[in-house]
Each structure stands twice: as C-alpha cells, then as structure tokens.
Amino acid sequence: MGREFAGPPIAAESHALIHRILDNSWGLHGRVASREQIQVPFNFPQHKDWLDLFLGWWEYGIRSWKKRAGPDETFTFLCEFGPPPYAITGADGYELSDRWLEAVQMKDMIRELWQKIEQD
C-alpha cells in the first residue's frame, strides 16, 4: 500500500509529513483524493471527511506560504481535475460527477479560505 493514508482521520505522523511538504511549497494543486481513488467527487456525502481533510491541508499550506512570502509574491492554486481516463467514470463511460461544477466550487472554497486567512 505504500504511504497511502488510512482514514480520515489520519495519524499525527502523516499530518507531520504533509506539513513538511507544505512548509516548502509555493503553490498547490487542488483535488480531493482518498486512499483508494486518485480523485473523488467531493460533493458526495461519503467523501465529506476527505474534503475536510484536504481543506485543512490547504489552509495550513496557504498560512505557511504567507509566513514565507514577500509582499509582492503570488500564490498559485490550480484546481486539478483531469479528464477520463484520469477521471473516474461509470459503466456508461461518463464521469461520476460534474467536474466543471466541482472546479468552480473548489475555486470558491479557496477564495473563501483565503479571505478567512486574511482576516485572521
């Protein structure tokens, strides 16, 4: 299974490993994955815990970057939704969710998160 994280919740050691990476990152690629799937439809109720986990990592990553970045530096967040065959599809060959809508929702989530961090 390699270094896939069981959960959520995940072990403190796993959070520490992710935080170490985020403490050296200057941008993020946004997608929500699980232990078993490279991307999950984050609007499906069974994936809420995964979405919350990733939102927490993104918040940590943005806060970490803001501590290191100069006043004129730019942070990049890319909504990463690959097309089939990268995207998970059903028996009909179509994606399981509206991934364009999810990308727009993710953009809005990150903007809200950015505003929250700015206000803190």
In a domain, 5, yes or no: no
Whole-model pTM over 0.75: yes
In a domain, 60, yes or no: yes
In a domain, 86, yes or no: yes
In a domain, 8, yes or no: no
pLDDT score at 30: 93
Domain hosting residue 109, numbered range: 28-39+48-119
In a domain, 78, yes or no: yes
pLDDT score at 5: 81
pLDDT score at 2: 62
- Decide if pLDDT at 1 tops 60: no
The structural domain count of the chain equals 1
In a domain, 22, yes or no: no
Tens digits of residue pLDDT in 52-91? 999 999 999 999 999 999 999 999 999 988 788 778 889 9
- 56, 15 in Cβ contact below 8 A? no
- State the alpha helices, DSSP H only, in the chain: 12-22, 48-68, 99-119
Tens digits of residue pLDDT in 11-55? 999 999 999 999 999 999 999 998 888 889 999 999 999 999 999
In a domain, 3, yes or no: no
In a domain, 16, yes or no: no
Which of 13-27 are b and which e, b meaning 16 or more Cβ less than 10 Å from the residue's Cβ? ebbeebeeebeebee
- State the alpha helices, DSSP H only, in 25-98: 48-68
pLDDT score at 3: 67
